[in-house]
Amino acid sequence: MSVTRGTLGVVGGQAEESTVPESVAAVLEPKWWGAHLREVRWQAELARLLADPVWRGVGLPRGDGGPVLLIPGFLAGDQSLSVMASWLRRLGHAPRRAGISFNVACSDTAVDRLERVLHHAHLRSGRKVAIVGHSRGGHFAKALASRCPDQVSRVISMGSGLDDPFDISEVTRLAVAGVRRGIHRRDPVRAQKGCFTHACVCRYGADFRAPFPESVPLTSLYSKGDGVVRWRSCVVPYARCVEVTGSHVGLAFNRHAYREIARTLAPTP
């Protein structure tokens, strides 16, 4: 496992790459089909986690009951992070579900709902809330922290393109396009606002593109073996970027990622 700092150029708080129009970027950037067949490794990664001392919390710092909001990735739901929730609870943290059964809703609508979940967890605990987001969940976590920095203690993203949410495989792009067409057909207003595109002008889009608040520590976990998201898009200059080995889906069960999550969530003296 290695820790690196992002080296992408920044203009006005934004990565230079994110200023390139989507149509131009499509020409400049060669198509990447990902490695989706290798994503079945998540099952082996889960098995390795359950056999690893990290699963039992050996040598890991304990939590102090602080709330941790878990946000699942695209096409996934809260159940995809249930293993992590169980582990966090045994470590002494207080995991909170996002209330997402299938992560395909309009980003603006989803983050509005998550803001209410965040606010409730903050009020109920009387403490700032840590957020762990997998893939698209990391995009939502970034937007939430920008919107409510006074309620967020820290953010951990896993396999999330933090400047460009669409720096993904062509196969995943097709899935995103299918969801986008469905949303635009049902809600012409969302279509006009560019929902599920780089050009989104909703409040979510503004929050996601805003400079990340300096008061909120951000850790980006990524894998060069990611078969869904280009790993370079997870490496940004405003985050502590940590490389682990494994698949994209498997980040939800990755023993190396769990070890880093435990260390990152450890209470400060």
Q: Are 156 and 131 contacting, i.e. CB atoms less than 8 angstroms apart?
A: yes
Check pLDDT > 70 for residue 20. Answer: no
* Chain segment 142-156, per-residue pLDDT in tens: 999 999 999 999 999
Check pLDDT > 60 for residue 138. Answer: yes
Question: Is the residue at 227 inside a domain?
Answer: yes
Question: Is the residue at 184 inside a domain?
Answer: no
Distance CA 42, CA 47 (A): 9
| Residue 80 belongs to domain spanning | 2-169+201-265
Check pLDDT > 50 for residue 7. Answer: no
CA torsion through residues 244, 42, 158, 269, sign: negative
User: Where does the chain have alpha helices with state H?
Assistant: 22-28, 42-51, 53-56, 82-91, 107-125, 136-147, 170-186, 188-192, 203-209, 255-265
User: In this structure, what token pair is assigned to residue 90?
Assistant: 């045994």
Check pLDDT > 70 for residue 214. Answer: yes
Total domain count, the chain: 1
Question: Is the residue at 176 inside a domain?
Answer: no
Question: Is the residue at 193 inside a domain?
Answer: no
Residue 210 belongs to domain with CATH number: 3.40.50.1820
Which amino acid, 91? L
Question: Is the residue at 253 inside a domain?
Answer: yes
Check pLDDT > 50 for residue 205. Answer: yes
Burial of 187 (0-12, 13-18, 19+ CB in 10 A): middle
Distance CA 134, CA 160 (A): 7
Check pLDDT > 60 for residue 198. Answer: yes
Distance CA 149, CA 142 (A): 10
Question: Is the residue at 191 inside a domain?
Answer: no
Global model pTM greater than 0.85? yes
Question: Is the residue at 143 inside a domain?
Answer: yes
Question: Is the residue at 192 inside a domain?
Answer: no
* Chain segment 49-99, per-residue pLDDT in tens: 999 999 999 999 999 999 999 999 999 999 999 999 999 999 999 999 999
Distance CA 71, CA 159 (A): 13
